[in-house]
Each structure stands twice: as structure tokens, then as C-alpha cells.
Amino acid sequence: MTVLRSIPVLIALLAGSALAQDWTQWRGHGAHGASAETGLPDTWSQTGENLLWSADVGVRSAPLIHKGRVYAISRTSHGEVPQERVVVLDLDTGKVIWEHRFNAFLTDIVAHRLGWSNLAIDPETGYIYAHGIQGLMFCFDQDGEIIWEHSLSEELGRISGYGGRTYSPVVEGDLVIISSLTSSWGPHGKGQHRFFGLDKLTGEIRWLQGVGGKPKNTSYSVPVITTFDQGRIMFTGLGDGSIAAMRPTTGELLWNVPLSEDAIMASVLYHDGKVYAVHGRTNVDSGVMGRLLCLEAGTGKELWRVEGLSDHFATPALHGGLLYAVTNTGTLICLDANTGTQYWTFDAGNEGKGSPVYADGKIYLGDVPGAWRILKVSKAGCQLLSEEKFTRPDGGPDEVYSSPAIADGKVVISTLSRMFCLSTKPADFRSAISTASPSMPKPGPTAHWQLEPAETWLAPNDSLQFRLVGFDAKGTPTGETPPKAKFAVKGISGGMSGTGLFRAGGNRIQAGLVTARIEETTLNSRVRIFPALPYEEDFESLKADLPPPGWITSKLKAIVTEHDGNKVLRKLAERPAPPFARLRCYMTPALEAGYSVQADIFGITKKKRFLPDMGLINSRYLLIMIGSSERTRRLRLVSWAPVPRIIQEVEFPWQGDAWYTAKLHVSIAEGVGTISAKVWKQGTDEPAAWSIQMKDDHPNPAGSPGLYAYAVGVTSKSKGTEVLFDNVIIDRP
């Protein structure tokens, strides 16, 4: 007999209750880039006309509005050192209520692209979700307290490119969904665009799913979630240049349509059974640049296209059956949402990257070279109502990449250095507009089961209850009591009960699976076990030709091999592409600062003149033995290489084809970090003094221990400079 247990909180949260129409996601209610507000400004000025307030808060993405507050993720600084922050302002006055600042580290993203992603707000709890360029994923409460936190790069192998493109979280019922290109441990070492469904209250990974083919680039398309055909469905652009439909509750892929030779940057739109997607690169099926595509939501079947419409960055707005798209060169185009018929074009700027928002018969639109414009629009045409241009103190343009947020009679817009609140109404005006929250469809019979958590990590002797959750054919949780399952473990040690209670064992870093078998179906959960410090690894007991279990790296970058009769970890140098030339291998999740990392390191030369870079990672600081990638061999301490937030160097003429021992230690006392390193050649005594030290008055409080290498001299026909690691020690003095 099937017994119903209490339906998960997902259904309760999507029960169709009325909500004020706040701007809690970057494209507003329905993700159409449109607002029902009226009486909004036609004109304004920076000197006072229809200007409620301005603040020294620059935003690259989109601000959000919720319950009388403005929320943003932005670039800021600690003195002259760039940082990111989540900042909250009073909607009526622009005064800062709270902020949380955090460092950039271990990423190629440069300073002017900090604060790239959009925040997400859960209207039910008021929690705020943020994803920084360094991979930190936060959940804050309304007072700025951290509820939970992930480091996606160190824990899950998030891949970060130079361009700043960072994915934005979205809230769906009892989940917050985040995605990224990742290269993690085990089979997930293969790079792919992966989605993670996290419990919005705890951060637990409820589901994960790799989608699409080989990634072509990092991207930042934000998923759109709606109810369609009696089920919840999520539409999004992918890093492989395709458009996908997925179940947001389980990650199940429904369909996938190739579109672009580059990753999809703009977000998709959904309305009335149709999905709209744009891009501005070469189409996969033609040599034409750019396309606006309309797809059938249930199947991905093409309904119509506009070839050559090059809109790579800005997400169109949709209102009243009209689409408003902005091309790469700033042209605003109005089209029929049912047929794709073009009604008019208007020269609205020079470079379109911020997305337009429709409200009160107007389009609010930013222009990268430092301008905001208000345009009166209809099917008949477009008229410029207002134009404000912005300059920096040095006379250069104060650039605009942001999109507006609209609620309570106010329009909040931003440049890279300032935020402005426009309104024709009193500061304390509150709108009576409300909308129903989305309703979760009623569940049908259970069609499949999901093992949760989908990925986790524990310490020896920790216990965790794994659970089976049922979903119907449309991805709606059923709440049914699961059938009897046979639980087991693979590749890890520990005890497993018949009800799914696992107790971790062993004294080594391990990685494997917890499995649950229901009739002919086997469900898997990825599990790692990390013992307490000290930890030592000499690789002798590990399988050859694979990375160490649970370490964040791919077998295309680092594997255990033989060298002079011993096993070592070899950084490969066979692929010339930069993502494969560099190794950042994280051995455990983030640890509180105060530990040391030590390893023996051997740099293999090529043609006696090429040497690799090689070193260690501790608490998000790098010790690098600089080889021939630069002119002088030296030791370098750094945390954020593209824009050295803090850096120290000393000359150190180390030699190739010889073993060295390196040690990196980070300590924090009275708020100041001391980063210390020493390197000595094997066969000599460990020096009493540190080889190099630096102070950091805004230190990284935690981070993963890891290994670093960068190969040079790699060609398509010959290997470059490999690096060997041995006798790794992680200890807390």
C-alpha cells in the first residue's frame, strides 16, 4: 500500500498566494523584463528632476527590489584594493542598510568585471542568494547574516574564464539553482555545463545534472522557470551554444536545440507556450551572424526565426505581444511575438549589453558608453523622451551594463559607479499591484525516484541519512513513501544501514558512491570522505593513470604515474589550450586558515631552456616558483593574479630537473594575515627562515589546500614542461 507522507515544502511555497510585485529576479515578475507600474518618469536629470536619490553604489548587473529595499552585488574596494560586496539600500532614501564584502581570488576575471552576476531573492523567506566571480555562493538572511555558503570552485570544480561571465542563481520552490562550467572529481572531471539544485534553506545539493555537449565558452544566460503542460519547466542557454529545457525539480533534460557557434549569453524568454532565444555569433547551420529564434516550449520545435538579428548580450523585453530586442550596436527592434514580423527599428545607442525593461508605455535602456535613455514605444513606433549621459571624474564615460529594477513607483538604474532612483511619486509610496505566486501542479503517480543528497562530503565517523524522493512524470514531487531499496557503497569505506543511514569510515581521502537500488534501477550519490589533519599522501597506494580520488582535477591534466621507481602525481603537458596548461588542483574543501601545505616538486625542462611554473595553494593564496613563463626565476606570493590584490616576489634561481621541497603557511592574528613560504633543494637542510613572506590586512579567512602548475612549450606535436608532485603534507602546526 502506498502511504502519502507530508508533501515537501516546495508545494506549500508555490500554493498560489498573492505577493506584492517586487523585483526579486533580474527580469522582474515572469522574467519578461516588464513591469505593471504606471505613472513612471518620462524624463529625469542627475541634478534633481524626478530624482528621488542617488548613491555611490555602482552595479554591473541588475539591482533587485523587495519590501522597501534595494539589493545589489557590486564592485567595491578595501582601500585601493578591489573587492566584491552584496549591498542593501533603503528604497526611499538610498542609505546603505548593510553590506558584506569579500575578496576576489583564484580567478582570471579582472577587476572591472567584479559583480557580474545577478542576485536572487526568495520572496517567501526573504533570503538573498549571491554568486561571486571567485565562486563563492552565499545565502544571506534579511539582516545580512550568512545562512550557508559554498565555494563552487574549490568544492565542485567551477571553471572561471577571463571574461567575467558568472552565472546567476534562481529560486524555484524549496530550491535555489546555480550552474557553471565545471571540471570536478571522478567522471565529472570532464568539463561540462552542470546545474546544481541546492536546498535553499541549507545549501545541500539535492540534484546535479550535466547538460549539453563540449562547452564553447563560459556564459551567463539566466534560466527562466514556468508552469507548462501541468509541470514546472526551466528554459536556459548553455555553454555549448544550445537552448535547453529541463525539469527544475530534478535536472531532467527534456530537449536541447543547437543554435550558436559560441556560448549563449542572453537569457531566454517564455510566454504562452513559446520560448524566445537570441544570440549574436555565427549560427551552427549557416554562416550568418545572429538569430532571434522562437521555439515550441514542449518540444523545442522551431516556429519562426529572424536571421541576422545580432543580439548577443541583451535579453529582450516582452509586453503586449511585442518583443523589444537590442542589437550589439544598440539598435532597438520591435517585433511581433507571435510571428516575428518586424515593426520598426530605432537607433537607441551605441553598444547594447544591458537589457531593456518595459513599463508604463516606455522602454528604459542603458548604453555602454555611459548613457540611460527613456523611450516611448508602441507597435506604431519609438520616440526618445529622455537621455542622460554620465562621466567619471577623469572625463571618461561612466559605463552602463546594468538593467533597471522597477517597483513601488520607482525605477532604479545604475552605472558602474553610481545608482539612481527615479520617481514621480513620494518616497514612501507603495504600489497596490500584486501578483499570484506560481502554483505547483498537483502530483500524479510516482514515475521515478531521486537519491538525495546528490553530492556531499563527510569526515570519518560522521553520519548522514540518504533519502529517496519521488516525482511524477512532469517532475512534481509526489510525497509518496518510497519502496524498499537496497543501499550500498562503492569506492568508500563506512557502514550503511538498510534505511540509507551512512556512517563514514577510513583514514584516507576517499571518493565514491552511495547507491540505492529499486527493482532494476540504481540511483547514485557522489560522496567524498576527508579525514582530519594532519594528512599525508605519497601516491604509492593509488591507482596509476588516474587523479587521486576526490581531488578536484581532470585526468587530462594530472594523473598518478611512475617516476624513478616511485609513484608521483604528474601534471601533464600534452594539450596547448590554456585551460589544460594550468593546474589548480584542490585536495579538500575549504579549511579555516592556520594550516600548512608542503610537497616535493620537480619541474621537467624542455630543450634545457623551458621551465614550468609550479607551486602550492593555501587559503586562496598561491606560492609560485616562476619558471620560463617570465624572464626571471623567482618566488611569488599572490592571491588574485590578473589584478594582484596583494603580491610579493623575491629572486630565486631554481633549477629544472631537480627535486625541491616547498612549504606554504597562512596564519591570521588580530585581523592581519601572514603568508609565509619556503623552498629548498632536496639534499639540503630545511632553512630556518622563510624564503618569502607578506602581510594581508584583509586576509582570506579560509580556503582549500592545493597544488599549482603551469606548463609552457606545449605544441600540438610535442609535450611541454611537466611537473611532478610527491610527499604532500597538510598539517596544522
- Do residue 279 and residue 321 come from a single domain? yes
The pLDDT score that the predictor gives to residue 2 is 31
Q: What is the pTM of this model?
A: 0.95
Q: Are residues 624 and 716 in the same domain?
A: yes
Q: Cβ–Cβ contacts within 10 Å for residue 429, how many?
A: 15
The full 3-state SS of 444-511, as one line of letters, equals CCCCEEEEECCEEEECCCCEEECEEEEECCCCCECCECCCCCEEEEECCCEEECCCCEEEECCCCCEE
pLDDT at residue 19, as a whole number: 60
Asked if residue 2 belongs to a domain, the reply is no
Angle at 163 between CA 161 and CA 166, to 5 degrees: 70
Task: Report how many domains make up the chain.
Answer: 3
Q: What is the dihedral of CA 365, 371, 372, 374, to 10 degrees?
A: -80
Residue that finishes a domain, picked among 386, 410, 436: 436
Whether 205 and 284 share a structural domain: yes
**Domain annotation covers residue 10:** no
User: Measuring CA to CA, which residue among 152, 68, 81, 156 is closest to residue 117?
Assistant: 152
CB atoms closer than 10 angstroms to residue 426: 10
What the block records as the C-alpha cell of 382 is 519609438
* CA–CA distance, 576 with 581 (Å, rounded to integer): 6
Residue-level pLDDT at 622: 97
CATH number at residue 495: 2.60.40.10
* End position of a domain, from candidates 436, 457, 472: 436
Residues 95, 196, single domain; the answer is yes
- Are 222 and 296 contained in the same domain? yes
Question: CA angle, corner 92, sides to 91 and 94, nearest 5?
Answer: 65
| Residues 620 and 663 occupy one common structural domain | yes
3-state secondary structure of 187: helix
Copy the grid coordinates of residue 459.
569526515
Assess if residue 578 is contained within a domain: yes
Q: Are residues 354 and 460 in the same domain?
A: no
Residues 88 and 210 in one domain: yes
Q: What is the CATH classification number for the domain harbouring 676?
A: 2.60.120.560
Looking at the structure, tell me whether residues 208 and 265 fall in a common domain. yes
Domain-located, residue 309 = yes
Q: Profile the chain (733 residues) by mean pLDDT over runs of 10 residues.
A: 35 47 94 97 97 96 97 86 93 98 89 90 97 96 98 96 88 97 96 97 98 94 95 97 98 97 97 97 95 98 97 97 97 98 97 96 98 98 98 95 97 97 96 78 93 98 97 95 95 96 97 96 97 97 97 96 97 90 96 98 93 97 92 92 87 96 98 97 96 96 98 91 98 94
Identify the CATH number of the domain in which residue 136 sits: 2.130.10.10
Considering 529, 560, 583, which residue would you say is the last residue of a domain?
Answer: 529
Domain that holds residue 484: 448-529
Helix (H) / strand (E) element for 154: namely helix 152-156
Say whether both 108 and 136 belong to one domain: yes
d(CA 132, CA 180): 12
